[in-house]
Structure 1
Amino acid sequence: MEQRKNYTGHGHRTNNYSSQNIEQEIHKIEKPLHIYYADKSKLFLPDGEAYKIAVSFKGITTHQLRKILNQVKLCRQELGNKDANFDDVRNRLFMLLPLSAYNGGREPKLKKIYRFLVEHLNENSITCAKDIEVFDELFTSIVAYHKC
């Protein structure tokens, strides 16, 4: 019987990489996004960060990016409600991390999105509603540049 790749034969699959190695490769943003991206020209202009990230997402379908963008938009919209709890909204945004990890495990080219989200979404980078707004603006720009 032919053995499948990454299967140990004991009901466990092995990963091609350890999560520890991925975390070491990723530079996490350790300050609030509204401070980190204070200079909007370096973020939004055609030679800026959003464009560079969009280029790195080449090969990823717009559908995959829009799935994330839709969740980000829902979080930002919910923050507009008077009775919105920031921690609940932030936790909903953080749920994008396991979703993207799962998708990256199924489709290797989607690991780029996971790495981007790990870099940008953590307790130090999302500290207030303004950080969620900046992340929304950034990801909206990435999707727009991805379409060019």
Structure 2
Amino acid sequence: MKHTTATPTVRTPADRFTGDVYLNLLEAPAEPARLAVGLVRFTPGARTNWHSHANGQTLHITDGVGLVGTRDGHVVRVAAGETVSCPPGEEHWHGATDTTFMAHLAIVVGDGAGDGTTWLEPLTDEQYAAALSAATG
């Protein structure tokens, strides 16, 4: 059995996120399992850059309301208790709405060299505004 006490909250890097986003790493990828889990908290308007995961990503919303969008323009509005699964290699972003906080558990299986995330360019303010209008769910 492994018992981990509270992990420190860190601010996420500005080159991967827009706005104020905070992370508590719950599980780092380690052989043989390579599971990574983080509790990520987004302030209103905050969001990730575009990115993808070698082995996909599961997001379980724990609090608030947020958005998850893909390159093809599909955007879903998500709320506490809901889960979104992004398949391997799918370029996507996620974050809070412009008026609410959002927190989620981000779950990925690493690729042997880390958590398997490829970080891309920021989601622009124009793309974010369009996503707010287009969100379904």
Compute the TM-score of the two structures, normalised by the length of structure 2: 0.26
Query: Based on CA coordinates, which of the two structures has the bigger radius of gyration?
Result: 1
Compute the TM-score of the two structures, normalised by the length of structure 1: 0.25
| Bigger RCO of structures 1 and 2 (CA < 8 A, at least 6 apart) | 1
More helix by percentage: 1
